[in-house]
Amino acid sequence: MKIILADDIETLGHKGDVVVVSDGYARNFLIPKGMALTASKGALKQAEMMQKARGERMEKEKDEAAAKVAVLAANPVYISARAGEEGRLFGSVTKTDVARGIEDQLGEVVDHKMILLDDPIRSLGTHSVEIKLHEQVNALVTVEVISHDEE
């Protein structure tokens, strides 16, 4: 059965895509839950409009992400943390700490889920952190972890 997706569905596609699925899956699950529409002539025109709008939105988001890359790459982010004598941190610097530092110092809002950091930072020094701003745009941010002196 030919259907038009009304929502983004990870296994099938994006909103507005025309896909072919089994009749039972379409009639018993996708259409009753409002995730899809049957592909009639009018609905196909609506799907074209949805795809066009999605394309424009994606292009706009990509342009905004490219503008953010310039700001993020130009300035380092300084994060203060308590450390031992050998430069090892008592805690760690996490994705949330990096996101908060970017927002406080650079004025750019970055969701911590966008930050690609496998393990938390556990030492002083300069670290490069990758941020996925868009499906096609990544930024590389320099994070300087400096010692926090308590007095």
Q: Please give the chain's pLDDT, 151 residues, in tens.
A: 999 998 888 889 888 888 999 999 999 999 999 999 898 888 888 888 888 888 898 899 888 888 888 888 888 999 998 888 888 888 899 999 999 999 999 888 888 999 998 899 999 999 999 999 888 888 899 999 998 764 3
> Domain 68-147 is of which CATH architecture?
Roll (3.10)
2-60 and 68-147: identical CATH topology: no
The per-residue pLDDT for 151 is 34
101: left (phi over 0), alpha (psi -120 to 50) or beta: alpha
Pairing state of beta strands 36-38 and 18-20? unpaired
CATH fold for the domain made of 2-60 = Ribosomal Protein L9; domain 1 (3.40.5)
The per-residue pLDDT for 39 is 87
Contact 20, 1 (CB under 8 A): yes
Q: In whole angstroms, how large is the CA radius of gyration of the chain?
A: 22
The per-residue pLDDT for 150 is 47
Domain regions of the chain by residue span: 2-60, 68-147
